[in-house]
Structures are given as C-alpha cells and as structure tokens.
Amino acid sequence: MSATAVHSLWTTAAAPGIDKIPAPDIEYAQLAPTLIVLGAAVVGILLEAFVPRKGRYYAQLFLSVVSLAAAFAAVVALAANGYGGTKAQLAAMGAIAVDGPALFLQGVILLTAIVAVFTFAERRLDPASHGNRVDSFAAQGASVPGSDSEKAAVKAGFTTTEVFPIALFAVAGMLVFPAANDLLTLFIALEVFSLPLYLLCALARRKRLMSQEAAVKYFLLGAFSSAFLLFGIALLYGYAGSVSYARIAAVVDGSVTTVDPVLADTMGNDALLLIGGAMILMGLLFKVGAVPFHMWTPDVYQGAPTPVTGFMAAATKVAAFGALLRLLYVVLPGLRWDFRPVMFGVAILTMVFGAIVAITQTDIKRLLAYSSIAHAGFILAGVIAMTDEGISSVLFYLAAYSFVTVGAFAVVTLVRDAGGEATHLSKWAGLGRRSPLVAAVFAVFLLAFAGIPLTSGFSGKFAVFKAAADGGAGALVVVGVISSAIAAFFYIRVIVLMFFSEPKADGPTVAVPSPLTMTTIGVGVAVTLVLGVAPQYFLDLASQAGVFVR
C-alpha cells in the first residue's frame, strides 16, 4: 500500500461527521470525598519514596488525618447542598450514586477511619526498643519473622509507615462500595478495599506468624468470595444485558421492551437471575461476616494487629451493609419474596450462632469477633424489613456500632504484659481494681454491645427490631431478643471478671497511651452515650438520608 493511500485512510478516519468515542462526563465535585482520599493515598506512597525515614511517621499521620477530615468536610458540603435529598443524582456516567444513604455511610466511614488512624499512630504502649518508640506494626513487613534482617530493622528503629497510605486506599474503596451503582464498580471497589486489608492484617509487630496466618486465611477466603461475586455479576449481565443497577431492576420488573439481539436467548432467564443474585449476595454476606460465611472472622480478628482489627471490624461492616442495602432495595426489590426466606434463615443463624459460640471464647479479641457476627445478624433484621424505616434503622445502627467497636479495640491495646497485648480473658481478672477508669470505659462499650438502655446499642437494636416487626418479620425480632439476652451473659461475665475478681500478682499492666488513643476512646464513649441518651436527632438524620436515587 502506498504512503498516500495510508495517509488518506488516516484523514478519512479523522474526518468530521464520523461518530467519535464520547469523552466521559465526570462530576468531580460530587466525587470529591473519594478523590481526596485516593489522592492522599498516592501522595502517601510518594512520601515513602522521597521523605527521609525519620520524618515519615509525622508526615504520613498529618497527611492521613488532614485528608480524611477534608473528605468528611466534602461529604458534609454535599449533604448541605441537597445531594442527600432533592438533588440526589448519579455521577461518573451512572457508575456512582450520590444520594442520602451513600453520603451518610461515607461520613460514618471517614469519621471511623480518623479515630482508627489515631490508634495506628500510637507509639507509647510498647517499651522503647533500642531507644526508639515503636507502634503495633512490624519494623519491616518484608522480612521473615525472627530473621537477621528483622532484628537489624528493629535495632535500626525502622517502622512500617506504609500502613497509613495502605489504610487510605482501603478507605477509598470503602467510600465507593456503598455508592456503586453498577456491578463492575461494585467489584472494583471491593478489590480496592480488600487487598490493602489483607496486607494490614499481616503486619503485627508481636506474634508475627499468627498475624501472617490470619492474613493468608483472609486472603484465600476473600478470593473465594470475590470469585462468587464476579461469577454472579457475569450471570446477572447475561440476564439483563447490562451491569447497571437501574437496567437490571427494569428487566426484573418487566418494564424493558428493547432486547439486545446478542442476548435474546438468555435475557429474562430467571435461572440466571436467581443464581446470579444469590452469588452476589454470598460475596456481600462474606464481607459482613454473616453465618455461614463467617469462618474468617475470629481468626483474622485475633491475628491482625489490634488497631487494624478495630478499623476493619467497624468500617468494612459499614461499607458492606451499604452495598447490600443498595443491591436489595434498588436492584432486586422485585425478587423480595424469593430472597427474603433465605435472608431470614441467614439472619437467624447469624444471631444465634454468634451469641452462643461467643460464650465459649477465652480470648477477648475472639469474643469480640463472635459478638460482631451476632451484630451482623441484628443488622440483617433491619435489612430484611424492606421498608424505608428498615434503611434508616440500619444506617443508624451502623453509625452507633462502628464507634463502639473502634473504641473497644482501642481499650484492648492498653492491657499488656511482657508478651505484648494480654488478650486472654483470665488476664483481665481484677482489672477494675488495677485501673478503674479503663475497666469502666470497657464496661460502657460492653453494655452498648449488649444493648443495655441509655447506650447507643439499645437505640440501634430498638430501631432495627421495630423496623423488622413493622415489615412483617416478627419471628426475627423474637429470635433477636433471645440472642441479645444470650449475648448479654458473656458481656456481663467480662464486667464481673474485671470488677469482682481478685487481680493476680503477675497480672498485666495497663499502659498509659498518648493523646491519640485517648481521643479514640473518648470519642467512642461520647458517641455511645449521646446516641443512647439523645438519639432522636441522629435517627431523624438517618431517616432523611434513607432514600436511594434510582
């Protein structure tokens, strides 16, 4: 072919009048919270490369807190401008929903992340090593536990400051997850927040082998759940000819008339819809830790560094329940009578199993893990209600639960012996006499988990159980109340152990934390009491935010 012929081909291709690929239309202002956190995470990686080792810790901490606070300010600004209500819309060419539930959950995730980052940065709990203050994370994540390179890293005073940008990437994924408005965005957000969490779980300074085992378990089971989710997405695409939530919902309720000829054979095939929907639900139920997809929870909660456990237990639940709500209320409301009996069974199993197995636990972190499984069951009761009140009750419960969880795990970091954190329950005997304030604060968190009146736990449980009863799930409320009573036994058992047992002579000490951890615990207590004593404003806020854009 001659050069002139090639040239004429190029000019023809570029000639006006021929359809061009349209440039994507991105609403940067509406996506600001996520973009701020992602930008800060990238800058954090650059800080690791260019800032001298001595200055990294302060630079990363400052960047993380400022970016999370700025992202929260952006969420508040969007809500104040009406994007949580009348101006709710789809952004990024329909991939992201900017509406009440998305903004409410993003706000909760960002506030939880700020107080969790304070526990990441805590450096006063362990004794100084070779004259350097140390945090909860391995000196050098890549070195083999017990190897010469690890010993050299500890001696040189290295710290894994990469945990801050890694946590920011996880937060960015969590912000997108409840706001995702198509199945591919949902999957990408899931991977963006899961992969950093697998890494963070493996970075404990003490008990490194246990920490790495927890990370491998989490990674393998997480990969299974991601595969289920992805296969479900493929089946739903075959069913509806689209990954968009609105399009799938329209095909489910039969309002779509145009059929893609390529998909004519499979489109509207109910087998694809039911199997695909079930697989996506499995992927999301894994993330919330519902039975029978809970196997990873106790091992990962116990093995991961405690600051990471607190962050993961709170923020992941908020993001995953947000995505679950959007899937059930926006995409599959036409399948209500198909999935409701299954969700009923999952919720009952989750509440009862979590409450009963927690009684047998002897490790405080495992006990809190099974407690979190029971709480997933309580929240599912609100999800199953399938009413507007159900949405708002779940939003309120998630806000209340996340701060109690981060606060409780922050207290666990303070009780220490020669081997680091003393998580065996026998070590907590007599803690109320050794350190009355720490024991009292932990008791407040345990009472909130138990749902005792005048704590946020009571307001949250009352809201979800009322929504479930009004939504025709009265049997679920009965099981929930019985499970709560069983759960109250082991929470109160810990309180009795702390205040009414004799402290052992060789018992653990309570470390004095820096203002960072004190702030985390203080915020946790304040939110627990405020949402318990005067919850009405926040319940109203959740009900105003409880409308999905479709």
Q: State pLDDT tens for residues 161-188.
A: 999 999 999 999 999 999 999 999 999 9
pLDDT-based confidence at residue 1 (cuts at 50, 70, 90): low
Residue indicated by tokens 């805590």 = 122
- Within a 10 A sphere around the Cβ of 352, how many other Cβ atoms? 18
**Among candidate residues 179, 171, 177, 187, the one with its CA nearest the CA of residue 222:** 187
Residue 460, CB half-sphere, CA atoms under 13 Å: how many?
Answer: 32
CA distances from 423 to 201, 366, 427, 430 (A): 17, 9, 7, 14
Q: What is the DSSP letter of 425?
A: G
Using CA of residue 251, residue 254, residue 256, residue 262, what is the dihedral sign? Answer: positive
* Bridge partner list, 509: 416
Alpha helices in 97-240 (DSSP H): 100-120, 148-155, 163-176, 183-201, 208-240
pTM: 0.93
Choose the weakest-confidence range: 90-99, 110-119, 334-343.
Answer: 334-343
Q: Tens digits of per-residue pLDDT, 395-445?
A: 999 999 999 999 999 999 999 888 788 889 988 998 998 899 999 999 999
Q: Tens digits of per-residue pLDDT, 23-61?
A: 888 889 999 999 999 999 999 999 999 999 889 999 999
The reported pLDDT for the residue numbered 158 is: 86
Which of the pair, 266 or 531, is modelled with greater confidence?
A: 531
Q: Tens digits of per-residue pLDDT, 478-525?
A: 999 999 999 999 999 999 999 998 888 777 888 888 999 999 999 999
The reported pLDDT for the residue numbered 421 is: 85
